[in-house]
Structures are given as C-alpha cells and as structure tokens.
Structure 1
Amino acid sequence: MIIKLAVLLPFFAAALIPLVHKFIKREQIGWFVLAVPIILFALISSYIPHTANGKTFIHTLEWIPSLSINFTTYLDGLSMIFGLLITGVGSLVILYSNFYLSAKESLHHFYCYLLLFMGAMLGVVFSDNLLVLYTFWELTSVSSFLLIAFWHHRKASRAGARKAMVITVSGGVAMLVGFLMLYAMTNTFSIRELVAQVDVIQQHELFIPALLCVLLGAFTKSAQFPFHIWLPDAMEAPTPVSAYLHSATMVKAGIYLVARMTPIFGGAETWFWLVTSVGLLTLIWGSFNAVRQNDLKALLAYSTVSQLGLIMSLFGIGSLALAFDFSEELTPVFALAGFTALFHLMNHSTFKGALFMMVGIVDHEVGTRDLRRLGGLLPFMPLTFSIALIGAFAMAGLPPFNGFLSKEMFFTAVTSLQHFDVFSLESAVVWMPIVAWLASVFTFVYSMIIIFKTFFGKYHPERLDKEPHEAPFGMLVSPFILCALVVLIFFFPNVLAHYVLQPALASVYPTLPLDAITPHISPWHGFNLELFMTLGVIVLGIVLYKTKRYWSYVYTFLQPRHSFNALYEWIVTTTENTSQRVTNKYMNGYLVHYFTYIYIIFLAVIGGYFVMSGAFNFDPSTDSKVETYELMLVCIVACAAVSLLFAKSRLSSVLITGLIGYSVGFFFIIFRAPDLALTQLVVESVTTALFLVSFKYLPNIKPEPSAASTKWRNAIISVAVGSLVTIIGLTIVNYDKFEPISKYFENSYELAGGKNIVNAILGDFRAFDTMLEVVVLFIAGLGVYTLIKLRGRKEAADIENK
C-alpha cells in the first residue's frame, strides 16, 4: 500500500502547487517540492533489507477488473533500483534547481511538470499491469514534452520537445500493440503471470511480432540508434531537466522495459541479436559523434546515447543466460553481463548527473557552453573542476571511480562470447569486442575534451559573456554528493551488489539460482585481457586526443544533409506539405462536399463489409403490418426530402426541413412514445425559429444554381445511404444469433430504480456518457470564457496605448 501511495504522492503534490504558490514566495516553491522525493526515497529505502532477502511486495487496487485492468504495484529488486534512482537523483536535481533557476522563471509550472514526470516514472517501474504501465509510459512523454519546452520562447526548445514527443510516443504506440499481442497469447496483462506462462508465449505465432513491438518502444524511449536523434535536441531544456530526464530517469525507461521483459523474451535468438547489435551500434555511434561536438551539453547528450547503448548491449548478452539450463560453465558468464548492466546503470546515473550539473554551473557562471570560447577556467572554478574531473574520469573508466569497475566487467562480458558456440556467434566474437573497445577509446577522448578544453588551455575573457567565478555553495552540493557516491561505490561496490544489485538480478533471471553466480566485485583481477584492453584505451585515447586536429576531418564526410536528423526533418516536412495539399483539396468550405465525402466512405466501408460478409439477412413477411396512415407519413417525408434538392431559397429549405422533422414527430406519436414526440416537436420548432431569425444577419446573396448532374449525384447518394440504413435496420430487427440487449434493460426498476425504461437508459445507464458530454460542454465554455477575457484585455490595452 505504501508503494501505491509513493506513486500517487507526486501527483497530489503537483495538484497542490497551483494553490500553494499563491501563499509562499516564488523562490520557496522548490523547497516545498523537495520534501516529496526525499520522503519517497526514505520510504523506498526502508524496503531494501526486505528485497535483499528476496521478498516482493504486491498490492492490487481494482480499476476495470472486467477487462483485466487493475492498478497493481509490484516492488522487487528491479523496481527498487529504479525507484531509488528516480527519487534519489530527483531530490538532488530539485535541490540543484533551487539555486540554478531564477525566481523570475515560472517556477510553479516547472515543479508541477517535474512532479508529474516523477510520478509517471514511478508508475512505470512499479506497475505490474501492462496497460497501466503503458498509461504511465505515455505520461512520461507528455510531462517530458512540457519540461523540454519549458523555455517555450525559444524555437529550438519547442522543436526539441516536439521531436522527443513524436518519436517516443510513436514507439509507445508500437509497444502497446506488443502488449495487446501478449494479452492475446495469455489472456492476462500481469507481468508476473506472463513470466509464469513464458513457455506458451515463446511457442505462439505472435511471439516475434510482440517482441519487435516491445523493443521498438524500448529503443525509442532509450534513444537507441537510429531513434537517438531526439536526445541531443532535448538538451534545449534547462540543465536540471537534462540531469534528471536524460541521465537517470526517462532514458532509462526503455532499459527498464528490456530488463523487465528479459524473462519473457530472453533466450530467443531474435532478442539477443537485436538488443545486443542495436546496443553496440548505439554505443559506437554515440561516442564517435560526441567527440565532434562543440557544445558541452550536446557532447554529454551523445555520451548519454553511447552509455545507454552500452547498458542495452549488456542486457542483450545477458539474455543468453536464459537460453540454457543452469550449468557452471555457461549461465554464470552470461548472467554476469546482466549484473554489469545493472551496475553500470547505477554508476552512469551518478557520474552523468554530476557532469550535467557541472555543465549547468559553467553555463550559469560563465554564460556559455561553447568549447571554442571556453578554456583556462581552473583558477576561477576549482570546485567545479573537481566535479568535472571525477565525473569525466568515471565515464572514461579510470580508477579510483565506479565507472572503472563496470567498464572492466563490460569488457569481460563482450570477450566471453568467444568461448561459447551459441546462436552462431562465430562472427559476433570478432566484431563485438572490437566495437566495444573502439567505443571506449572515443569515450576516453571526449572525457578528456570535457576536462582539458574547459578548464585548461588559454583563458579568453573576451569570448565569455560573464566574468568567471565559482558557483554558490548550494549549487555545488548536489554534484558533490553524486561525486562522493562515484568514489564510495568504487571502494565499497559489494555493499551495493549485495543489497541492491543481486535482488535486481533475481528479477531479471527469476528461474536461475543466482546465489551461485552473483560475482564479487574487485578493482583488481590481475594481468588479464580486460586490463590490457583498458591500457590500450588509455594509450590510443591520449594519442587521438593529442592528434585530433589531424584526423577530425573524417567528420566532414558526415554531412548534415545525409544525417538521420535530416531524414526526420524531410519526413516531417513532406508529411506536413502533403497533408496540407490533400486538406486544401477537400476542405474547400462547401458543406455539401463534406457530407458527400462522409456518405461515400460510409457506403464503401459499411455497405461493402455487409455485402462481402453476407450480413444482410431479413424476411419482410415476419414484420408487423404497415398501416395506410403510416404509408402516408412515409410518402410525406420522402417527398419533402426529395423536394429539398430542388429548393431555390433558404426559406423554402428551412420550411421543408421543418416538415420532415414534424412528420418524424408524428411517427413517435403513432408508435406510442409521447416523450420522444414532444422532444422532437419542441426541438424542431426551436431550430426552425432560430434558422428564420438568423436570416436577418445573413448576407442577401442568391446562390448560383447547381448543375443538374450535381443534383442527381446528391440524389443518388442520399437514396443509397437511406436504403443502406434501412436495410441494416431490418437486418438487426431479424438478427437472432445473440440474446437481445433489451432484456437487460427490462430490469431497469431493480437495476436503476426507474419504471420508465427509456428514462432509466438516458438518466442512469448512460450516466457516464452524459457526464462526458457535460465535460465537453464545460471545456467549450472555458474556451469561450477565455476568448472573451482575452478580447477584453486586448481592447483595454488598445485603449491604454491610444
């Protein structure tokens, strides 16, 4: 129950901000919000001893049980890791933002969006129901859109938010399709129950399509190649947003999904090749492109892409542990890759969060992030330099920092593939370690660029917007806490492994005896292949950094017009232009044309389906006898409808339409529905009067007479639609394959307390529908009210200006 409250608490706090910010100073809002992640971090941390002993916590709140949709929270080792990251890093980011953001900013909006995102992420990692998970998943996209576009006066911020929204939401829709396929295979949305039916899923014909759809959602959210293009553009967000969303939380949602789905899809050859290959390709592409960046945040963005690829590839390699029965030779080696992925997941959040905050400090205190304008800042910002040094060296994989440990284990994982012949790995054992090593070399190069290009070299005060100085103490607290964790994890990694990583590994591999395969983390393994690979990374990295001006011309071959960004922009532009041209063709302002399109599609789709499926089936001989006066009313309505085609004035059209409406009202009287007849007659009288009154304000323009062919076309379409609706009605009346729904409503007195069935249907059974209709009217009313207020303000401003 506490975990469910942990998910909902950020939403409650976000709802309170619009009320609270009116009673406290603007700069104090952040301190009010800071209490939320701190409380949540303390609550989640209290479960660590329990999850470390293998316990899980489940709580279900029924939502739509008839559709197997319930709000079920599930706390295990894997969700524990992400819960700690979301709340822990969230606390430090909010503390940092209190000093980073100006009081002139719209802080109540910022923190409201941030809390919405925090709650959505907690909902993703703690949800056991796939549809509930998807709901929170898309909410993370919406809230991140608001955060990225927080500085909405900047065109680049709006464009970055839109690109992130389009790509991640598109992947989310594909993921939803995959979830529905899983439901079709197992008749459950529960992740725990899916894991229990893994044999049924893997033998189903929908297994591969579901796997591809789920991976598409994970790849788009975690910025995997080629969907990585949204992440660098999202750096237009304020630095606290970048430090939170793009290093510790949102981009890790796809990683979480892959880890959570590994027990279901892991062990399949398709899963291994896709996750591992895409991860390694993202790793090398991100690190290679990071070296060419001149903006510090852009460099960190591509480095994040690269590190996410590293973690993804480790989960791909680790999935091989589920391809075999447990043995001392195979499974421990591959399970080590999954363990390393979880370890580096934690490490990356610490050093990358610190680096983002460091870049924010440089930008805040110097006025620029452009490496071409920076240099020589060490004497002015020694504390900021310390943050950069620890974070960059950890990212480069150097001791004594936590990144060194997980990087060594990464090398162990990719080189271990050469010892086993699984899934035809002969080719993979050659290129996978090479790609991993080259990417590490580029990682070392851009880590050195961060340090030496920013804090060493010649100082150019004329290139800076501000005189450099050290950041205030409050802005340094959060990155120093993260840097302290970077060092502490290096010296005490097994504490983290025992209490956090091992329980998470048990969630990823629930069928394996992990007590026998959880490794002991040590900074020294002797003189082995991994150590020599690290030494090679350092040597070649130093050489490439020193000689960068001689080989950086290779980036000139990657022209912007040939990039994935250019492809995305071309797709968006082409789609918009094509849509505009098509829309201009049919949105021509003539109402008769719009009805023509609607009715033709109706005839083609509905009528075509009924004809092809042979659904038309009725016997007029079984119908009630049609009386003479009923035929007379039918003739009146038909003649009036046909005469509308030949009406030559607006007055004639309105009067004929009224005649049709009154005739329908008489039908209701004949069929003993006086309440409907009264409603019909009243509505028809009011609308006819309104039409006639409105003529006073319409221009006195006589419309050009329509061509005879147009009238005949309209007549044919009208007759066809009317005939189709009539035949469908007759078919439904004679359809007897299912029990009629009217029997349910006949019990209206016991179900709703109403003796009149029609009234009960309208007032009780359709109450939810009616409520939504009222909501629509309410929203429309708000729109009208807003327009009136804006117009009043504009008129007042115009008078004042005069």
Structure 2
Amino acid sequence: MIFAVLLPLLIACLIPFLSKIKHKIHTGIVVFFVPFVIFLYFIQFLGSTFSPVRQTYSWIPSLSINFDFYLDGLSLLFVLLISGIGALVVLYSIYYLDKTERLGHFYVYLILFMAGMLGVVLSDNVFVMYTFWELTSISSFLLIGYWHFNERSRYGALKSMLITIFGGLSMFGGFILLSVITDTTSIQAMIDQKDVILESSYLPLILGFILLGAFTKSAQFPFHIWLPDAMEAPTPVSAYLHSATMVKAGLFLVARFSPIFASYEWFFIIVSIAGIVTLCWGSYMAVKQTDLKAILAFSTISQLGMIMAMLGFGTKVAVFAAVFHILNHATFKGSLFMVAGIVDHETGTRDIRKLGGLLTFMPITATLALFGTFSMAGVPLPFLNGFYSKELFFESSLGLNENVGAFANFLIDIIPALAVFGSIFTFVYSMYFFFGVFAGRKKEKSLPKKPHEAPIGMLLSPIILVALVIIIGLFPNLVNGTFLAHAAEAVKGESIEKHVKYWHGWNYPAFIMSLIVVGVGTLLFLTRKKWRKVYSFLPGRMSLNKIYDISVSKLDVYANNVTGFYMNGSLRLYVAIIFSTTAIVTLTIMALTGGLNIQFDDLADVTVVEVSVVVVMIIAALGTIFAKNNIAAILILGVVGYGVSLLFVIYRAPDLALTQLVIETVTVALFLLCFFHLPKLQAIKESGKTKLVNAIISLGFGLMMTLIGISAHSSDWFDSIADYFLKTSYSLGGGHNVVNVILVDMRGLDTLFEITVLGIAALAIYSLVKIKRKKEAE
C-alpha cells in the first residue's frame, strides 16, 4: 500500500522535467496514469470476502511513530474515490487547461494533494495521519491560489488555509491526548481501548479537538465560509477537492473515530446539530447565489452537512446511508462541477443571470446536467443514485435512538423536520441550476463567447461520472456487498446488512417525505422571484465572512503593534528581553517543580588559592564594565576565562583546563582581530532607571545560572552520564582525553554543525571585508 503514497510523490519530483516538453506532450497525459494505476491496484480488493490489510514500515520507533497503513472497507471506499475521481479530473484538466498555463506547478500541487489524501485515509498512526492531513492543507492552498495574479484567488487560498490549519492543529491536540491516555499511536489500538477513552476526564476535550479538525475541513457551519471563496480555483480543482476528496476528509475523520465516540451522547448531539444546521443553511444560501460554482459550493456544504448528520445519528441505517451518499455525492457533484467548467469554458461566464437556453447549443452537456442535478435533488426516479441515499437519510432521521437525555430527545423530535426543510431547498437549488442554465430564453448575444458544445475529451469525464449515477441507480446493490457494507461495518464496528430497493410502498414514511420535498420544492422554485426578498432579512447584513475579515485585519494590526514594540532595532532591548524572559521562566519553573535543590555537603575544601583566583576573576569581570578601550576590555575578559582554567587545574581536571585554555586563547585572538576594525568604545549616557534595569537583569540572569549549577550538582534525579563517558571514551572514541572525545565523537554531529555555522559566519565576514575594500578602492 505504501506505493499508493510514494508513487504520486515520486512523479511529483519528475513533473518539473516533464513540463519542459509540454509543447510535445501534455503533462497531464503522464500524470493521468498515476491515479489510474492506483485505482486499478485497489480494485482487486473489492468483493464480499474482503478483510482488512495492514502494512507497517519503521520510521521513528522510539516514539511509536511508524508508517502503519491499514486498509479496511472505509479506507478502500475513499482510496477508490481519490484515485478514480483523480484520474477523471486529470483527464478533464488536459482539455480544460491550455498548454500556456503553468502546467508543471498545477500538476505538482494536484499530485501532492492526492498523495496527502491517500496518506490520510490509509494511515493507522495518528501522527502520520496528521502529517498527511497538513500536506492536504498546504497543497490545497497552492491549488486554490493557482491563479495567484487574481486577488480573489489569493484571498480564497489564505482563507482556506487559515481555517483548515486551525482545525488541524486542534485535531493534533486531540491526537496527543489520545496517545497519552491509551499509550499507543495506532487508531485501531485506540478503538480497542475505547472504554479507557470514554472513562477519561479528558474525553470532552478530546472530542472537541477532533471535531474541530473535522468540521473545519468538511466546511461545517460556522466554518463553511472558506469553501465558496475556494471556488476561485480552476474547475478541475473544484471538482476534485471540493466534491470528492478534501472536504470529505473531515467526514472520514469522524467516521474513523466513530467506533470510539458513537456511544457518547455529546457526540450524537454535537455532530447531529452541526450536520443538520449545515444542511439547512447551505441549501438555503445556495438559492441566493448567481455564480454557478458558488451554487455548487453551497450545495456541497449542504450535502456534507447531511452526511455529517447521518454519522452523528450513529444507527445502522444512518451509517450505511452516510457511506452510500459519500459515493453518490462524488459521482453527481463531480460531474456537475465539470459541467459548470464546460459552461464557463464555452460561454465565457459562470453568471447564471447571463445564461439560459443552452440546451439548444450544448445538448450533451445539458443531458449530463439533467442527470446530475436531478440525482442531487433526490427526485424519486429509479435510475438516479441520489434518491436512494436521500431516502435512507429520511429513514435514518425517523429512527434515532430514544434512550438519550432530555436535550437529545428534543433533537429527535425536530431532526426529521429539519431534514425535510434542508432537502426542500436542495431540490430548489438543483432545479435553479439546471433550468437557469439550460432552459428559458436564449441569451447567446450577451455572452462573451458564442456557445457551442465542448470537445469530446472534456465531456468524457462527466459522461463516465453520470454513467455511474445511472448504473448505481439501476443496480444499487451492485456496490452494496462489494464495498459499501464493508465501509459501513468499519464505521459502526459491527456487521451491517442493508438491501437497497426503490419501492417500499405508498405508506413508507421516507417516501412520503420525498414527495413533500418534490411538491413543496417545485412550488418554491416556480415562485422563487416572489420570496427572494427573504434573503434581505436572513442573512441580511449578517455575515460570518465579515467576522472573518475583521478578525484577520485586526490580527494584523495587533501583531504589527506588538512586533513594533520590541522589534525597534535596539540590540540592548533584544538582549534584555531574551535574558529577562529566560531568567523569569526558568526560575519560576524551578520554584514550582522543586528544582531549587541546594546542598553544600560533599564539596571540596576551599583554600586561599581558590579564593584568590575567584577574587581576581570577579575583579576582571567588573573591570570589563568600566574599560574604555576595546583591547583592554578583551584582555580583561580573557582573565576570567584563564581563571576558569586555573580552577580546573586546581580541581584536577587537566582535560577541561587544556580545552578551556585553547578555546579562551582562540577566542581572545579572534576578538582582537575583529575589534581592531571596529570603532573605539564610546560612553553612552544612560539614565538611572536604565542602569537599574540593566543591573536587575544582569543579577537575575547570573542568579539563574548560579542556581542551575548548584541545583544540578545537588540533585540526583538521574544517574550521572559521567561514568559512561569515562568507561567508553577510549573504546568508542579511541582517546583518553574525555572532553575531546565527547566533542568530536560522542556529540560529533553537534560539533560539525557548530563548525559549519562558524564557517558560514567566516565567509560572511570575508565577503563584508571585500565589499568594504572594494568601496574604499573606488
């Protein structure tokens, strides 16, 4: 399974070279085979006898972080969607994007996103999943902002990244708590310990963190505001990210952790409310839009809300309906996004107010849109897959578990009504999309381009998706036993057998709800112009987008003010902040955690010699403060270093003494060389307040270092590593000088990088000297 992630990453490295020959062969033709091959590989797992597969590859075993890949029914469903829809999107993009576009950039971003999504759905390790999760956020940011010269594209890309990464970080916090509680990083192992998690006092916090990640990624109210702005991306991106993959990552997250939280009442309450509210708000707002992709964006929000609500319901029927609609939504919504792209490509506009009567000019596209919109609307026709999952949604809303608290019982009473309300507006925006574009008066003279049918290459992908809509509609149980039942079982944690059929009789409650949706929806669609004024009251001037914009702008202002306070160019202020913060934090933590352990027993006797050396060092340290000459200050400071060497000699540490002498000599020599080129010291007039602050910071930092040294000597929390160095310095490092062996061998990489830093600094100084001499010569 690891090849499914590595193959896209490998091809992503090769795409920049392939794009150099795009005048000979379209880059997308090569990229197409990546998801196609992955799709063909995973097709072999379909079947009623499928059982989960696990593969493990070592990464950071000391932290229990490995590439653990787990393929069950749920991940198989998503892998087939990611690879299958991905192949169709790449095929569509070959005809949609011109060769003059930055194809190399586009396909690198797209295939990185594909790798990220595959990693998310296949990972069993929570921290590996989080890594891939953030890869999807970053790559989607690049895809949405692909046309970076467009201000709206940059705005949409930044908005989506800020909101989804905020959720991702919250999810990460939940993962950390889960790993601490269960002492494992494996999701399946966590599921096995669900009783431990449900009994933990951190359960509300864990649930909140994980649901924040899911809700932001899957555009649940009130975090849905990023999705409409993300429509500034090229249509292939919208068809891939915002119908079949990225926005469903949140659904996958909730589904994957459902076996843990499904029995927790607040999981039902929060997820069901978020889902049903998102369904109603998204469908209601979709009718207000005039841009085709904006209509589809809000329709996607509503559909995601419906699936999220079913996952919250948690019953067998609801879980099966959820995974069924994940599949159905990918087929009809992917085709509709491509239809919107075709209309835009062939007419030059996506404004529905300028469109109409395109059935005559684009009959094939209109036919595809007909099946897609009617399936999305849940029209009760046996050849539309959307109707089956919509009817199951109604059935699940009527069969919720009543053994819950009072508040949850209140939800049980109103959820069926809200389900019908949201579905009515789903029907309205579906009819609005189809009839507003393809029926009515022809307006070809007002269009930027003369409308005509798209080339067959651009039509091929939506044709395949619409064919799946019809095939699944005619033979719904064809996909039931092969992988939908396995996906539902992975979510519910128990076997689910559901025979899908079209007709249940006239008294079937869900069918009656469908008839209500069609009847009321038709009436509202026909009278839409008469009640559109309701949008001036709700939402009216209220807008979550305004809250976001104000928050971001204010954040910039406050950040500039805070940064401007301390980043004022004063080196003294920088050092003062660093030293004082370090001293305050360190001393506080030492005091709170019992780190101030001061003992003066087991110390060597102090003689006149040691006292004399220390007194000289103190006088030299104070002398540097009052020195008025560069060279004098450096030499006096050197006395302190050589005094430390004498103390090492007195206390019989010749290795340390020798090392300190060498370092001190080199340091003094380098200082002398550098300071020779610097201006002479000049007295700076400072107020008494500034001198007092300097004294407090100096004494505080000195006190901190003193207490750390004494506490470290006085504490025996850990076994000393000194014995290890003394025993192994010769056998491992080949030297009797323990200090040198530590520096060169034991921590050789550290020393190597220190030398590298010094080398880079030396090159920089050399460059500055050359520039100065060049200017002096001129």
TM-score of the pair, normalised by structure 2: 0.92
Query: What SS class does the counterpart of residue 56 from structure 2 fall into?
Result: strand
Q: Distance in 1 between matches of 2:752 and 2:57?
A: 24
Correspondence for 1:304 among 279, 294, 300 = 300
Say whether residues 1:178 and 2:174 are aligned partners: yes
Q: Alpha-carbon deviation of 1:137?
A: 0.9
Say whether residues 1:123 and 2:119 are aligned partners: yes
Correspondence for 2:707 among 727, 734, 754 = 727
Query: What SS class does the counterpart of residue 565 from structure 1 fall into?
Result: helix
Letter in 2 for 1:287: S
* Cα distance change on mapping 1:426 and 1:24 into 2, 3 Å: closer
Q: Per-residue displacement from partner, 1:607-645 (whole Å, max 9, x unpaired)? A: 122234442222234223456555455444433443444
Corresponding residue number in structure 2 for 1:523:
502
Q: Alpha-carbon deviation of 1:683?
A: 3.5
Q: Alpha-carbon deviation of 1:744?
A: 3.9
Correspondence for 1:617 among 591, 597, 607 = 597
Q: Per-residue displacement from partner, 1:349-370 (whole Å, max 9, x unpaired)? A: 0111101111111111111111
* Cα distance change on mapping 1:748 and 1:292 into 2, 3 Å: farther
* Cα distance change on mapping 1:130 and 1:23 into 2, 3 Å: same
Identical-residue share of aligned pairs (%): 46
Q: Distance in 1 between matches of 2:364 and 2:763?
A: 51
Say whether residues 1:365 and 2:349 are aligned partners: no
Q: Distance in 1 between matches of 2:58 and 2:275?
A: 38
Given that 2:580 and 2:700 are in contact with CA atoms closer than 8 Å, whether structure 1 keeps it comes out as no
Say whether residues 1:429 and 2:427 are aligned partners: no
Corresponding residue number in structure 2 for 1:374:
355
Q: Per-residue displacement from partner, 1:112-153 (whole Å, max 9, x unpaired)? A: 111111111111111111111111111111111111111111
Letter in 1 for 2:186: S
Residues 133-212 of structure 1 mapped to structure 2, 5 A cutoff = 133-212=129-208
Q: Per-residue displacement from partner, 1:725-756 (whole Å, max 9, x unpaired)? A: 11111110121132113344445458844435
* Cα distance change on mapping 1:763 and 1:486 into 2, 3 Å: farther
Given that 2:239 and 2:337 are in contact with CA atoms closer than 8 Å, whether structure 1 keeps it comes out as yes
Given that 1:365 and 1:466 are in contact with CA atoms closer than 8 Å, whether structure 2 keeps it comes out as yes
Correspondence for 2:41 among 37, 40, 43 = 43
* Cα distance change on mapping 1:762 and 1:132 into 2, 3 Å: farther
Corresponding residue number in structure 2 for 1:800:
none
Corresponding residue number in structure 1 for 2:334:
353
Say whether residues 1:449 and 2:432 are aligned partners: yes
Query: What SS class does the counterpart of residue 62 from structure 1 fall into?
Result: strand
Q: Distance in 2 between matches of 1:483 and 1:774?
A: 63
Say whether residues 1:689 and 2:673 are aligned partners: yes
Say whether residues 1:710 and 2:690 are aligned partners: yes
Q: Distance in 2 between matches of 1:775 and 1:141?
A: 34
Correspondence for 2:210 among 204, 210, 214 = 214
Range that drifts further, 149-158 or 431-440: 149-158
Given that 2:271 and 2:312 are in contact with CA atoms closer than 8 Å, whether structure 1 keeps it comes out as yes
Corresponding residue number in structure 2 for 1:389:
370
Q: Distance in 2 between matches of 1:589 and 1:624?
A: 47
Letter in 2 for 1:681: T
Correspondence for 1:273 among 263, 266, 269 = 269
Correspondence for 1:55 among 51, 55, 59 = 51
* Cα distance change on mapping 1:86 and 1:733 into 2, 3 Å: same
Q: Distance in 1 between matches of 2:357 and 2:188?
A: 55
Given that 2:137 and 2:165 are in contact with CA atoms closer than 8 Å, whether structure 1 keeps it comes out as yes
Q: Per-residue displacement from partner, 1:27-56 (whole Å, max 9, x unpaired)? A: 52111111111110011111223xx31411
* Cα distance change on mapping 1:675 and 1:659 into 2, 3 Å: closer
Q: Alpha-carbon deviation of 1:771?
A: 7.6
* Cα distance change on mapping 1:727 and 1:701 into 2, 3 Å: closer
Q: Alpha-carbon deviation of 1:154?
A: 1.3
Corresponding residue number in structure 2 for 1:321:
none
Query: What SS class does the counterpart of residue 479 from structure 2 fall into?
Result: helix
Corresponding residue number in structure 1 for 2:7:
9
Letter in 1 for 2:209: C
Q: Distance in 2 between matches of 1:273 and 1:26?
A: 57
Q: Distance in 2 between matches of 1:558 and 1:779?
A: 62
* Cα distance change on mapping 1:782 and 1:619 into 2, 3 Å: closer
Q: Per-residue displacement from partner, 1:535-584 (whole Å, max 9, x unpaired)? A: 21112112111211111111112467521111111221222211211221
Q: Distance in 2 between matches of 1:631 and 1:274?
A: 70
The unaligned stretches of length 5 or more in structure 1 are 319-333, 785-802
Say whether residues 1:282 and 2:282 are aligned partners: no
Q: Alpha-carbon deviation of 1:678?
A: 1.8
Letter in 1 for 2:370: L
* Cα distance change on mapping 1:663 and 1:158 into 2, 3 Å: farther
The alignment yields a C-alpha RMSD, in angstroms, of 2.7
Q: Distance in 1 between matches of 2:289 and 2:245?
A: 24
Q: Distance in 2 between matches of 1:742 and 1:524?
A: 80
Query: What SS class does the counterpart of residue 149 from structure 2 fall into?
Result: coil
* Cα distance change on mapping 1:111 and 1:521 into 2, 3 Å: same
Q: Per-residue displacement from partner, 1:459-506 (whole Å, max 9, x unpaired)? A: 333532222121111111111110100000001110100001011122
* Cα distance change on mapping 1:663 and 1:775 into 2, 3 Å: closer
Correspondence for 2:75 among 55, 73, 79 = 79
* Cα distance change on mapping 1:230 and 1:637 into 2, 3 Å: farther
Letter in 1 for 2:518: I
Given that 2:630 and 2:681 are in contact with CA atoms closer than 8 Å, whether structure 1 keeps it comes out as no
* Cα distance change on mapping 1:763 and 1:272 into 2, 3 Å: farther
Query: What SS class does the counterpart of residue 21 from structure 1 fall into?
Result: helix
Say whether residues 1:568 and 2:564 are aligned partners: no
Query: What SS class does the counterpart of residue 269 from structure 2 fall into?
Result: helix
TM-score of the pair, normalised by structure 1: 0.89
Q: Per-residue displacement from partner, 1:730-788 (whole Å, max 9, x unpaired)? A: 1101211321133444454588444354444444544565687799999999999xxxx
Residues 397-408 of structure 1 mapped to structure 2, 5 A cutoff = 397-398=378-379, 399=381, 400-408=383-391
* Cα distance change on mapping 1:645 and 1:678 into 2, 3 Å: closer
* Cα distance change on mapping 1:468 and 1:5 into 2, 3 Å: same
Given that 2:634 and 2:668 are in contact with CA atoms closer than 8 Å, whether structure 1 keeps it comes out as no
The unaligned stretches of length 5 or more in structure 2 are 766-778
Range that drifts further, 167-176 or 279-288: 167-176
Letter in 2 for 1:290: A
Q: Per-residue displacement from partner, 1:193-247 (whole Å, max 9, x unpaired)? A: 1111112221121222211111111111111111111111111111111111111
Q: Per-residue displacement from partner, 1:389-408 (whole Å, max 9, x unpaired)? A: 11111110122211011111
Letter in 2 for 1:266: A
Corresponding residue number in structure 1 for 2:768:
none
Q: Distance in 2 between matches of 1:249 and 1:747?
A: 57
Corresponding residue number in structure 2 for 1:21:
19
Correspondence for 1:577 among 538, 544, 557 = 557
Q: Alpha-carbon deviation of 1:17?
A: 1.7
Corresponding residue number in structure 1 for 2:31:
33
Q: Distance in 2 between matches of 1:580 and 1:447?
A: 46
Corresponding residue number in structure 2 for 1:93:
89
Correspondence for 2:396 among 410, 413, 416 = 413
* Cα distance change on mapping 1:23 and 1:436 into 2, 3 Å: same
Given that 2:26 and 2:99 are in contact with CA atoms closer than 8 Å, whether structure 1 keeps it comes out as no
Given that 1:286 and 1:303 are in contact with CA atoms closer than 8 Å, whether structure 2 keeps it comes out as yes
